[in-house]
Amino acid sequence: MTQTISFVGNVPVHYAQIVLVSGAGDFVDPLVAFAGQRNELCGAGVSGALFLVTATHTGDVRIEIRVETEQPKLADWDEVVEVSYRPTTPSVTLLGWDGEVFARFELSAPSYRARWSRQGPREQGRELERCRLELWPAGVADEEILRLRPEADTR
């Protein structure tokens, strides 16, 4: 399996949200992004966008984005969900709540599976929440909730 780490860094979040967008990167309405979905962590209802929710309301979050050639092994995270993602252009951008750009990278396939994983700062004495977005080429499929903390307040 080949993987490319497209981004690793601390990202300031506001209102527990960041977005991955392709194309122009317009505002993503969370109500539309999560329409028809059961999970409240990764909204894929807007064409070309993923609305990503963190547990941290305001502050820095450690985010890693990995682009894989095939489905990666499931790691041990507190919360894990998967959705389908169809970028509208090859160029994608990770944006903060206020439109600040944190990362840009290219995706070559027409559709991807997106796995959004979160690990709270409480575990193992960590100061920051950690999040990972894994993307790999795949056909369109229903969302899947792989792991959620029962007490999780995601929005």
Give the model confidence (pLDDT) of 22-53 as tens digits: 976 677 899 999 999 999 999 999 999 999 99
Give the model confidence (pLDDT) of 51-106 as tens digits: 999 999 999 999 999 999 999 999 999 999 999 999 999 999 999 888 899 999 99
CA distances from 45 to 39, 66, 68, 116, 151 (A): 12, 21, 22, 15, 25
**Reduced DSSP (H G I as helix, E B as strand, rest coil) percent helix, strand, coil of the chain, to 5:** 5, 50, 45
Q: Does domain 3-147 have CATH number 1.10.3720.10?
A: no
| DSSP of 99-121 | --EEEEEE--SS-EEEEEEEE-T
The full set of domain ranges for the chain reads: 3-147
